[in-house]
């Protein structure tokens, strides 16, 4: 059982390479690199991914080494592949790897060598990419949109970024790892055809459950997995996804401009309170000081509380983002992750790996 604070995170994407000899190259098409030396010598060949339809969703599969054709490169989203959605899923990485690889290989009409199957069951396989994900309940859709707005607009003291756009603020580099935030409820409502074959009420139940929840996703690539000592599936426990998400959240320090709670205001010194009130009223608080050193000092003090007085207060909330639905980011990063809803347990919308996939 994961420790409190690490519970209820799950695995959203896995890319794994396993040894599985096959005669015919697998892939959508073959990429060929030709030397520019006049004789057309081929110096590189690689396969693109081909789709393999699973119980609900697709996995991406290709031949990892075209010369020997000894290994498969498999990438899949466990939730979509086994459940038909990824609003929530299992955090058991080893079990998901075993179940996913077994299913994909069987659908390809291939067989894993006996020694490779033993390695797979032991978790002794190479991970090339893993996405760890969690949902944080903020209470309303407007609170989620406000959180995304502040994450995107805020001045971040410890992470570079954000990239992408306001709706999906993203931090980090694609070559190593990324941290992203978005509104899963909004994503699931925009024309994605999922859950059409669910039993009555289950699709609506999953969709409604995402309402008012902020989604946090940490994408770890091969280089980062090696650095963390997590390149083998056997290195993971059910606590690992939650620990990774929590550690990345704690690196975030968003300098919010939504104002302080009454309790935080009471802890301000009288001088800090005067500066804070001047900033909040829209006055030019910088005129209160003769030296830039004093201005920087008070800005630094208030930064520690999560607000940036160098950003005008009225710009902290756009015309459609009301103050009443603002959850301070310092509170968001401390909230527990949302557990799998009770109505999903034992139903097709939530799949845990079979016992033999955990051994």
Tens digits of pLDDT across the chain (359 residues):
677 779 999 999 999 999 999 988 888 666 655 445 555 554 456 678 999 999 999 999 999 886 677 899 999 999 999 999 999 999 999 999 999 999 999 999 999 999 999 999 999 999 999 999 999 999 999 989 888 877 876 655 455 555 556 688 888 877 788 999 999 999 998 866 777 778 878 999 999 999 999 999 999 999 999 999 999 999 999 999 999 999 998 877 655 555 677 888 888 999 999 998 888 887 888 888 888 899 889 888 887 776 777 766 644 443 334 445 667 677 788 899 999 999 999 999 999 997 554 44
Same domain, 185 and 273: no
| Strand ranges in the chain using DSSP code E only, listed in sequence order | 10-19, 30-34, 42-47, 50-53, 58-63, 71-76, 126-137, 155-156, 170-173, 177-183, 213-221, 254-255
Question: How many H-runs (helices) and E-runs (strands) does the chain carry?
Answer: 12, 12
The tokens 């669910």 sit on which residue?
A: 198
Residues 245 and 280 in one domain: no
Q: Are 214 and 136 in contact (CB under 8 A)?
A: yes
* Cα 241 to Cα 247: distance, rounded to the nearest angstrom: 10
Cα angle for residues 233, 237, 242 (degrees, 5° grid): 115
Domain contains 1: no
Residue 70 inside a domain? The answer is: yes
Count of the separate structural domains present in the chain: 2
- Could you give the CA distance from residue 223 to residue 225 in angstroms, rounded to a whole number? 6
**Assigned domain for 354 exists:** no
Q: Same structural domain for residues 106 and 229?
A: yes
* Token pair recorded at residue 251: 């690196």
DSSP summary character for residue 263: H
**33 within some domain:** no
Contacts of 268 (CB under 8 A, 6+ apart): 260, 276
Query: Range of 100's domain?
Result: 10-26+45-255+333-341
**Is residue 125, in this structure, part of any structural domain at all?**
yes
């Amino acid at each position: 059982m994961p420790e409190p604070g690490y519970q209820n995170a799950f695995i959203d994407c896995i890319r794994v390479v396993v040894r599985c000899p096959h005669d015919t190259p697998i892939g959508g098409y073959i990429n060929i690199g030709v030397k520019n030396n006049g004789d057309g010598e081929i110096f590189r060949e690689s396969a693109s991914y081909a789709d393999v339809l699973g119980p609900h969703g697709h996995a991406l599969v290709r031949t990892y080494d075209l010369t020997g054709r000894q290994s498969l490169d498999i990438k899949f989203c466990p939730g979509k592949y086994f459940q038909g959605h990824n609003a929530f899923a299992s955090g058991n990485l080893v079990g998901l790897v075993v179940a996913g690889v077994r299913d994909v290989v069987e659908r390809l009409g291939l067989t894993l060598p006996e020694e490779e199957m033993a390695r797979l069951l032991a978790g002794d396989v190479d991970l090339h990419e893993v996405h760890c994900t969690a949902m944080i309940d903020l209470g309303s859709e407007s609170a989620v949109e406000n959180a995304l707005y502040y994450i995107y607009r805020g001045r971040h003291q410890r992470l570079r970024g954000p990239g992408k756009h306001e709706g999906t603020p993203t931090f980090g580099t694609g070559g190593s790892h990324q941290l992203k935030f978005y509104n899963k409820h909004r994503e699931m409502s925009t024309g994605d055809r999922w859950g059409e074959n669910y039993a009555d009420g289950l699709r609506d139940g999953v969709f409604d459950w995402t309402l008012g929840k902020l989604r946090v996703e940490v994408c770890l690539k091969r280089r980062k997995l090696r650095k963390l000592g997590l390149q083998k599936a056997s290195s993971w426990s059910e606590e690992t996804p939650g620990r990774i998400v929590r550690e990345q959240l704690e690196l975030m320090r968003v300098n919010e401009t939504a104002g302080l709670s009454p309790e935080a205001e009471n802890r301000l010194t009288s001088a800090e309170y005067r500066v804070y009130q001047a900033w909040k009223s829209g006055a030019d608080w910088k005129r209160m000081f003769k030296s830039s050193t004093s201005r920087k000092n008070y800005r630094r003090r208030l930064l520690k509380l999560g607000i940036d007085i160098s950003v005008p207060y009225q710009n902290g909330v756009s015309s459609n983002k009301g103050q009443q639905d603002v959850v301070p980011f310092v509170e968001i990063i401390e909230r527990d992750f949302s557990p799998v809803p009770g109505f999903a347990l034992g139903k097709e919308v939530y799949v845990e790996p079979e016992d033999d996939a955990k051994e």
